Structure 1
Amino acid sequence: MHSPDSGSSSEGLSAGPLPAGITAPSLSAPSQEAAGLLPLIDAAVLDELEDELAGTGLAKRFARDYAAMWDQRYSRLAAAVHSQDSESALDAAISLKISSAMVGGVRLAKLAELLETLIRLGDFGQGKVLMERVAMDGGLTITELQSTYILGTD
């Protein structure tokens, strides 16, 4: 297998020049700190979804399914990042970003967005570091979602 800096990549995902004003280190510490300032869950997102669905309970079911799929979703993402599979990692990061945003997991959605950027830049070294934060905040998000939304209200 090639080293992390070997330059092999999928189409359009190579680690070319960074966008103006962005350096790889700025994507890790300061961005992670900014993400850490976000709440784990924005309950208003699920409340709004429930209102849009006319109180059918589908929003709670979506939240329950999201929580139940966390381990599988995280494992898929972690495996892709650790194996430096750009295509699978990008797909898993985008899926996590979108589903987290839909369930109100704003901090996890932001971390997934940061991870998506690192993957697009081909920086799997920083991606592996960020995965530790994704694991920690992902677990906290699921715990809060279960205790405050899934179990906390009917």
Structure 2
Amino acid sequence: MPLVDAAVLEELEEELAGTGLAQRFARDYAAMWDQRYTRLAAAVEEHDGDSALDAAISLKISSAMVGGTRLARLAELLEAMIRRGDFAQAQELMRQVAREGGLTITELRSSYIFDTGRGPAGQGPATQGPAN
């Protein structure tokens, strides 16, 4: 399964009539990664089922929209664990979510989000998420 499915991004771009909104959505998605991961990790750590479920579903949907297939699949697995109340296993999965999330953001920035003159996304290097 690829980190980022370019066909999903191309389809989104076509649906939005090439307006650049798809690229802006992907840029915003990348910019929000650290905040999104931190919120999810805290909710899982605190066994806050409602917040964890909300964050996992948000990650699943937004990742799928930018073609982040592996991360969307992990978020789907995490969602199932949270629904079962299996926070111990969910905490273990968060390490993989952090790693795959960082790789997904790096891939998006290097292959899709470009801001001419300033490198991918006009930002510094992608983060890999907290190492917990």
TM-score (norm 1): 0.74
SS at 1:150 equivalent: coil
5 Å-filtered alignment, 1:1-154, equals: 38-151=1-114
Q: Deviations over 1:25-44 (max 9, x none)?
A: xxxxxxxxxxxxx1100011
Q: Distance in 2 between matches of 1:116 and 1:53?
A: 29
Gaps of 5+ in 1: 1-37
Gaps of 5+ in 2: 117-132
Tell me how many residue pairs correspond in the alignment. 116
Which has more radius of gyration?
1
Q: What's the counterpart of residue 22 of structure 1?
A: none
Identity level (%): 76
TM-score (norm 2): 0.86
Distance 1:115 1:100, change over 3 A: same
Which stretches of structure 1, 4 residues or longer, exceed 3 Å deviation after superposition?
none
SS at 1:127 equivalent: helix
Root-mean-square deviation (Å):
1.2
1:49 to partner: Cα distance: 0.6
**Cα contact 1:45–1:103 (8 A) shared by 2:** yes
1:151 to partner: Cα distance: 2.1
